[in-house]
């Protein structure tokens, strides 16, 4: 290839990045059309499954033995919104600079892995050699809004998913800023909690008792004190303790609402004590924490009269994939990494992925994005990935995935 020319898979990646699958109105029809076209071009079996309400593209490369458990490569095609004004380039243009850094929403999370999986399937299909087990690829919607409703949470309970007979799932991980690569074997449970307080109204000049805001603030302060404790656990431990973000419970106050709006011009009735106040928290709980006990903790925090809470995201089970010598998939994965001469570091994923629904079925899942020497920029402004890192990622996957599919 002429060094001036772009690697064809990089061009495909950039084209995919330009498809507007950003929330709140992801264009799944265009991403589906794109993937279907590629499957047809590459001669890969596919179907578009729509029973859950949104398109899920399923691709299959048949193995020699249909009775063996399959390997599933799962990726989500949706991306989070981008605040265009805060980017140095258009976040949906997939601009490449002179260093080969490609800037776009989804370069790391996780359109890179979508296309890398697709390219792996392409190369396996092109080789014409049959591998031992079935290999499936699923391209799913709505991961970024929780996977609930029309996403993975529902799909894993369908007959279609059962038919895939999955033995191992690979899904997204995170970029690594060092030479090492990170593999995730579990993740923190994402709980989004919306607290509502109701209380007494009155004139803003008086000492009204039992106001909604006071009640809410007492709860918020208890929760922020807990946040401080957890932050200290992470930041004040000596270097020996090796605690990572995925090992503590994080909690952020991300929604706060009260006050009586006066009109549509950002004015409020400052002299009216509001009867309702609301707070929303994003809480991430490590798999080692007992979720029943944590729920009780939340109930204690919100026990005061006039307070109630609802979950906007909730999960009551949070399984991990065991990385012991009984896990043959992991032994196989590690051996491939050794042959590739890459160093793996294992961690708990600090955020959430669709893997949690897979692990909760008792199916092992590894979160792995083959991206090293790159800052972690998922959901951030100016998210980018270097084209060389992207291309090397395909070779890394080629050194790992066929071995898993061929496992005895
Ligand atoms: C709770 S849904 C997960 C959405 C997203 N992947 C996150 O971790 O924030
Ligand atoms: Zn993601
Ligand atoms: Zn994300």
The tens digit of pLDDT for each residue in 272-295 reads 999 999 999 999 999 999 999 999
- The answer to whether the complex's ipTM is over 0.90 is yes
Same domain, 79 and 199: no
What does the alpha-carbon distance between residue 383 and residue 84 come to, in Å, rounded to a whole number? 12
Residue 379 labelled as part of a binding site: yes
Is 255 a member of any domain?
yes
* Structural domain for 301, as ranges: 189-313
Same domain, 204 and 341: no
On the question of pLDDT at 3 being above 90, the answer is no
Q: Of 146-150, 170-174, 256-260, where does mean pLDDT reach its minimum? A: 146-150
pLDDT band of residue 327 (cuts 50, 70, 90) is very high
pLDDT band of residue 231 (cuts 50, 70, 90) is very high
The pLDDT of residue 349: 97
* Of 269, 293, 313, the domain-final residue: 313
Q: How is residue 93 annotated by DSSP?
A: S
Ligand 1 atom index nearest CA of 147:
2
On the question of pLDDT at 265 being above 80, the answer is no
Same domain, 181 and 196: no
Query: What is the set of active-site residues?
Result: 78, 143
Is 2 a member of any domain?
no
Residue 40 labelled as part of a binding site: no
pLDDT above 70 covers a percentage of the chain that reads 99
Using CA positions, which residue lies closest to atom 5 of ligand 1?
144
* Of 313, 344, 378, the domain-final residue: 313
Q: How many distinct structural domains can be found in the chain?
A: 2
Same domain, 13 and 143: yes
Residues 136-144 have a mean pLDDT of: 98
What does the alpha-carbon distance between residue 378 and residue 249 come to, in Å, rounded to a whole number? 20
CA 264 to each of CA 256, 260, 273, 276: distance values in angstroms, whole numbers, following the listed order:
19, 11, 19, 19
Same domain, 198 and 302: yes
Indicate yes or no: pTM above 0.80.
Answer: yes
What does the alpha-carbon distance between residue 233 and residue 247 come to, in Å, rounded to a whole number? 9
Residues 354-379 have a mean pLDDT of: 98
Ligand 1 pocket test target in 79, 152, 353 with most atoms within 8 Å of CB: 353
> What CATH number did the domain enclosing 270 receive?
3.30.70.360
Same domain, 172 and 230: no
> What CATH number did the domain enclosing 389 receive?
3.40.630.10
Is 1 a member of any domain?
no
* Of 313, 341, 363, the domain-final residue: 313
Give me the DSSP letters along 249-314: -EEEEEEEEE--B-SSSS-B-TTEE-SEEEEEEEEEE-TTS-HHHHHHHHHHHT-STTEEEEEEE-
What does the alpha-carbon distance between residue 59 and residue 260 come to, in Å, rounded to a whole number? 52
Ligand 1 atom index nearest CA of 353:
6
Same domain, 99 and 228: no
Same domain, 284 and 151: no
The pLDDT of residue 200: 98
The tens digit of pLDDT for each residue in 232-244 reads 999 987 667 788 9
CA 187 to each of CA 41, 58, 273, 351: distance values in angstroms, whole numbers, following the listed order:
36, 25, 42, 7
What does the alpha-carbon distance between residue 376 and residue 44 come to, in Å, rounded to a whole number? 33
Q: Which two tokens stand for residue 111?
A: 């359109």
Is 295 a member of any domain?
yes
Same domain, 198 and 307: yes
């Amino acid at each position: 290839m002429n060094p001036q020319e772009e690697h064809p898979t990089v061009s495909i990646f950039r084209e995919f990045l330009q498809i507007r699958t950003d929330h709140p109105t992801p264009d799944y029809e265009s991403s589906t059309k794109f993937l279907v076209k590629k499957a047809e071009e590459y001669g890969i079996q596919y179907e578009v499954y729509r029973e859950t309400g949104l398109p899920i593209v399923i691709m299959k490369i048949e193995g020699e033995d249909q009775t063996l458990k399959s390997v599933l490569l799962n990726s989500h095609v949706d991306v989070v919104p981008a605040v265009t004004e805060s980017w140095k380039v258009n976040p949906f243009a997939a601009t490449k600079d002179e260093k080969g850094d490609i800037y776009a929403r989804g370069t790391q999370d996780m359109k890179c892995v979508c296309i890398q999986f697709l390219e792996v399937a392409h190369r396996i299909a092109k080789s014409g050699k049959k591998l031992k087990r079935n290999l499936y690829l699923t391209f799913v919607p709505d991961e970024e809004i929780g996977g609930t409703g029309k996403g993975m949470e529902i799909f894993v309970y369908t007959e279609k998913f059962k038919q895939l007979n999955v033995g191992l799932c690979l899904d997204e991980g995170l970029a690594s800023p060092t030479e090492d690569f990170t593999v995730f074997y579990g993740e923190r449970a994402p709980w989004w909690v919306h607290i509502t307080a109701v209380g007494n109204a009155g004139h803003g000049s008086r000492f009204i008792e039992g106001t909604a805001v006071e009640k809410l603030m007492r709860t918020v302060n208890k929760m922020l004190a807990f946040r401080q404790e957890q932050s200290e656990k992470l930041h004040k431990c000596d270097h020996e303790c090796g605690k990572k973000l995925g090992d503590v419970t994080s909690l952020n106050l991300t929604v706060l609402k009260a006050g009586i709006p006066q009109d549509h011009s950002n004015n409020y009735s400052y002299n009216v004590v509001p009867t309702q106040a609301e707070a929303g928290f994003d809480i991430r709980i490590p798999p080692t924490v007992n979720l029943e006990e944590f729920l009780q903790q939340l109930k204690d925090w919100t026990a005061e009269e006039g307070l109630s809470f609802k979950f906007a995201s909730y999960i009551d089970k949070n399984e991990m994939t065991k990385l012991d010598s009984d896990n043959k998939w992991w032994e196989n994965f590690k051996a491939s990494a050794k042959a590739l001469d890459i160093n793996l570091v294992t961690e708990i994923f600090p955020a959430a992925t669709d893997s949690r629904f897979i692990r909760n079925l008792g199916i092992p899942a590894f979160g792995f994005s083959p991206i090293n020497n790159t800052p972690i920029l998922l959901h951030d402004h100016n998210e980018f990935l270097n084209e060389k890192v992207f291309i090397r990622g395909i070779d890394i996957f080629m050194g790992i995935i066929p071995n898993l599919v061929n496992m005895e």
